[in-house]
């Protein structure tokens, strides 16, 4: 959905969060207006996190005093806008094809595998994994580092792109997130809509050096 060939669009997604036991905790919304890589406005609204972000050619602006988007809310957006792997995920990885049966549905899963020191084959989902419909190119599920499974339950088409309209995310077989696309529409968006106003501050990206680890993926 963030492909430069697409026309400007407006998106609204509702989401439900759950606790570690699968009990509902809070609801919220994500609303986004997109007209290009450097013209992107997002508003997250929930009891625990509310923020506006605007991506411009000068950088990312965010509501003053608000931290980065929490992981689960980022998943809500990524599963609609950019569900496929990033360049960082692909770097140094070796694609490995596995077959996975989800109920009566067989999926072709591609895991971006990294070397394990003892040479043991990595179990499915240990590294970022993307599962497509058997002999199809439609993304139906993904795994993130073993414990997080994201199911794309319902799909739609917008500007010739397949879009997940309903997703469920599970951590250790417990539902932690569900979301639904309430609205996705083409829309003329003037440049003025992407000007950072008062209450927004440019986000400074900081880097932290992490010592090289000798252990396996889980520190074993």
Alpha carbons 168 and 16: distance in angstroms, whole number: 10
- The confidence score (pLDDT) of residue 205 equals 64
Q: Is residue 76 part of a domain?
A: yes
Alpha carbons 29 and 25: distance in angstroms, whole number: 14
For 151-160, the CB contacts below 8 A with 24+ separation are: 151/102, 152/79, 152/83, 156/181, 156/184, 158/1, 158/9, 158/184, 159/6, 159/7, 159/9, 159/186
- In this prediction, residues 107-125 reach a mean pLDDT of 84
pLDDT digits (tens, 9 = 90+) for 24-47: 999 999 999 999 999 999 999 999
First to last CA, the chain: 39
- In this prediction, residues 65-73 reach a mean pLDDT of 96
- The confidence score (pLDDT) of residue 103 equals 75
- In this prediction, residues 136-160 reach a mean pLDDT of 90
Q: Is residue 97 part of a domain?
A: yes
- In this prediction, residues 3-27 reach a mean pLDDT of 97
pLDDT at 200 over 90: yes
Domain count, the chain: 1
| Cα angle 77-82-87, degrees, rounded to a multiple of 5 | 125
- In this prediction, residues 148-155 reach a mean pLDDT of 94
Q: Is residue 155 part of a domain?
A: yes
Q: Is residue 174 part of a domain?
A: yes
pLDDT at 218 over 50: no
Tokens of 206: 């900081």
Domain that holds residue 40: 9-202
> Mean pLDDT, the chain, as a whole number?
89
Q: Is residue 42 part of a domain?
A: yes
Alpha carbons 200 and 51: distance in angstroms, whole number: 9
Q: Is residue 218 part of a domain?
A: no
Q: Is residue 215 part of a domain?
A: no
193: CATH: 2.50.20
pLDDT at 207 over 50: no
- The confidence score (pLDDT) of residue 19 equals 97
Q: Is residue 213 part of a domain?
A: no
């Amino acid at each position: 959905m963030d492909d430069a060939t697409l026309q400007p669009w407006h998106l609204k997604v509702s989401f439900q969060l759950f606790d570690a036991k699968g009990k509902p905790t809070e609801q919220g919304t994500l609303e986004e207006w997109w007209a290009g890589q450097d013209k992107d406005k997002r508003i997250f609204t929930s009891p625990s996190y509310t923020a506006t972000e605007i991506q411009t050619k000068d950088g990312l602006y965010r509501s003053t005093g608000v931290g980065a988007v929490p992981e689960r809310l980022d998943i809500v957006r990524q599963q609609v806008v950019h569900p496929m792997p990033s360049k960082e995920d692909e770097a140094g990885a070796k694609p490995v094809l596995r077959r996975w049966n989800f109920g009566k549905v067989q999926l072709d899963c591609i895991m971006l595998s990294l070397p394990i020191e003892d040479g043991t084959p990595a179990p499915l989902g240990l590294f970022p994994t993307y599962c497509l419909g058997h002999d199809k190119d439609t993304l139906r599920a993904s795994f993130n580092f073993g414990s997080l499974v994201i199911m794309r339950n319902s799909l739609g088409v917008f500007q010739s792109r397949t879009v997940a309209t309903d997703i469920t995310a599970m951590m250790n077989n417990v539902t932690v997130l569900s979301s639904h696309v309430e609205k996705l529409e083409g829309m003329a968006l003037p440049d003025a809509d992407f000007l950072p106003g008062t209450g927004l501050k440019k986000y400074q990206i900081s880097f932290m050096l992490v010592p090289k680890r000798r252990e396996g993926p889980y520190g074993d």
